[in-house]
Amino acid sequence: MKSFVAYVEWDPQTKLYVGIVPGIPGAHTQGASLDELHKNLKEVLELCLDEYKGSLKDLPRFAGLQQIEVKL
């Protein structure tokens, strides 16, 4: 088993949750609920990893998030 971190946003235009697994090409999807998004992310991540030809040790690792404030 290997754990991955997903970045999740709410899109007010489509009214869907959007999830991205940083560093994994193609690992992004959407869902109407957080449960659906989780299921969809797991499925797409498994597909992306099946297609990945390199070593899993060489994949980028989640380091953290930073909040940046800007004056508007």
Task: Give Dmax over CA atoms of the chain in angstroms.
Answer: 44
Secondary structure of 20-65 in HEC code, one letter for each residue: ECCCCCCCEEEECCHHHHHHHHHHHHHHHHHHCCCCHHHCCCCCCC
The number of distinct structural domains making up the chain is 1
In this prediction the pTM is 0.83
Task: For residue 70, tell me if it sits in a domain.
Answer: no
Query: What is the reported pLDDT for 53?
Result: 83
Average pLDDT over residues 65-72: 93
Give the span between the Cα atoms of 32 and 42, in whole angstroms: 15
**Does 48 fall in a domain?**
yes
Count of other CB atoms within 10 angstroms of residue 12? 7
Domain that holds residue 51: 7-58
Q: Is 34 left (phi over 0), alpha (psi -120 to 50) or beta?
A: alpha
* Residue 63 maps to a domain: no
Q: 68 vs 62, which has greater pLDDT?
A: 68
For position 48, which CATH number holds?
3.30.160
8-60 pLDDT tens trace: 999 999 999 999 999 898 999 999 999 999 999 999 999 999 998 888 888 88
